[in-house]
């Protein structure tokens, strides 16, 4: 299997997993992630402290010049970083974005948008994360288009609170 050169090597990073069923928990949450479904965002890798998200780009993801909209780029970075943080919380906890800063390096075009999210430092109440966003063009070229740094707040959640309203 071909490993892309920009994927982070998590083999030297050790995290404490507080929910041994984190993958199944995330997959259950994804069923209720209506916005992610709307924009066609899916998670392709879910590992402790590391998540990869992808969007197959279509016209809905473009701004007026035909480029990937900056909001789409920021969203996929937020998704990858947020779910990377979520892999490290206890079953009664969630993560929410407390802060996000994104730097855009290049324009994205057609193809697939891929965000590689990783936890840089996991804390008790906040996790500091990063996400790199790449555009995989149809011709096989890969462009690093953005990097986000995020602070993810760890919150305690009543599991019944958001069920009927479609909460997080």
pLDDT (tens digit per residue) in 40-91? 999 999 999 999 999 999 999 999 999 999 999 999 999 999 999 999 999 9
User: What tokens were used for 139?
Assistant: 């011709």
Whether 101 shows a pLDDT value over 60: the answer reads yes
Q: What one-character DSSP code corresponds to residue 4?
A: P
> Which of 57, 39, 54 shows the shortest CA–CA distance to 7?
54
Give the phi and the psi of residue 41 in degrees, each rounded to 5.
-90, 130
User: How much is the pLDDT for 44?
Assistant: 97
Domain 16-156: CATH class, spelled out: alpha beta
Q: How far is CA 136 from the centre of its chain?
A: 17
User: How much is the pLDDT for 14?
Assistant: 83
Distance between CA 94 and CA 107 in Å, rounded? 32
Q: Which is more confidently placed, 158 or 13?
A: 158
Angle at 30 between CA 138 and CA 22, to 5 degrees: 110
User: How much is the pLDDT for 109?
Assistant: 86
Task: Decide: helix, strand or coil at residue 58.
Answer: coil
Residue with tokens 């009543």: 158
Give the phi and the psi of residue 50 in degrees, each rounded to 5.
-150, 125
- Say how many Å lie between the first and final Cα of the chain, rounded: 34
pLDDT (tens digit per residue) in 111-150? 999 999 999 999 999 999 999 999 999 999 999 999 999 9
Tell me the domain boundaries of the chain. Answer: 16-156
pTM of the complete model: 0.88
pLDDT (tens digit per residue) in 3-43? 344 455 555 578 999 999 999 999 999 999 999 999 999 99
């Amino acid at each position: 299997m071909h490993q892309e050169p920009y994927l982070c090597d998590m083999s030297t990073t050790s995290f404490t997993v507080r929910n041994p069923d984190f993958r199944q928990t995330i997959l259950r949450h994804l069923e209720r992630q209506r916005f992610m479904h709307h924009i066609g965002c899916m998670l392709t890798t879910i590992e402790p402290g590391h998540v990869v998200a992808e969007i197959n780009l279509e016209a809905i993801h473009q701004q007026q010049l035909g480029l990937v909209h900056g909001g789409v780029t920021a969203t996929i970075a937020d998704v990858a970083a947020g779910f990377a943080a979520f892999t490290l919380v206890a079953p009664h906890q969630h993560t929410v974005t407390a802060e996000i800063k994104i730097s855009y390096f290049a324009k994205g075009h057609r193809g697939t948008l891929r965000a590689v999210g990783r936890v840089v430092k996991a804390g008790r109440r906040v996790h500091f994360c990063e996400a790199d966003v790449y555009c995989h063009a149809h011709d096989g070229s890969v462009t690093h288009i953005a990097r986000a740094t995020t602070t993810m707040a760890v919150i305690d959640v009543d599991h019944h609170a958001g069920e009927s309203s479609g909460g997080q």
